[in-house]
Amino acid sequence: MKALRVLVGAAGVALMSMGAFLLTDVRDPAGVLVWLGGAVLLHDVVVAPVVLLVGLALVRGGRRGPVRGALLVAGALTAVALPVLLRPGRTANSSVLPLDYPRNWLISLVAVATVAVLWTAVREFARKRRRP
């Protein structure tokens, strides 16, 4: 488990470094700061409390962690996808948003739910094997 944490931590640091590098090319840093501040407020005021309350209400026992993790990831995916999901419809230039973003967002949510279910099943299986 420790190796997995180190690997995930290293991947996170690499992605943050790439993001910091990409920020050097931004033409409107104030707009980026406003967007990042809004994202932090959305997470801290809406997503996190909702996830904690839903996790508390829906799940009992040791499965609460994976459910909360999946809900947090789903909330983050939704926050990132909101501009595209709430767009007014077809644009004049069809190459601006050429993909079916609502479908892709739903596929992402299904993938997150599948990973959470598999993670819970593997943990439960390992727990049962440890008990005599």
- Residue 3 forms part of a structural domain: no
- Is 99 exposed, middle or buried, given 0-12, 13-18 or 19+ CB atoms closer than 10 A? exposed
Length of the chain: 132
- Residue 20 forms part of a structural domain: no
- Residue 15 forms part of a structural domain: no
- Residue 8 forms part of a structural domain: no
Model pTM above 0.75: no
- Residue 57 forms part of a structural domain: yes
- Residue 19 forms part of a structural domain: no
Task: Say if residues 109 and 74 touch (Cβ distance below 8 Å).
Answer: yes
Task: Say if residues 77 and 111 touch (Cβ distance below 8 Å).
Answer: no
Which tens digit of pLDDT belongs to each residue from 99-117? 788 889 999 999 999 999 9
Name the CA dihedral angle for 67, 69, 74, 76, rounded to a multiple of 10 degrees.
160
Q: Give me the domain span that covers residue 81.
A: 26-130
Count: domains in the chain: 1
Per-block mean pLDDT, blocks of 10 residues, the chain (132 long): 90 93 85 86 84 75 75 85 75 72 91 92 86 70
- Residue 97 forms part of a structural domain: yes
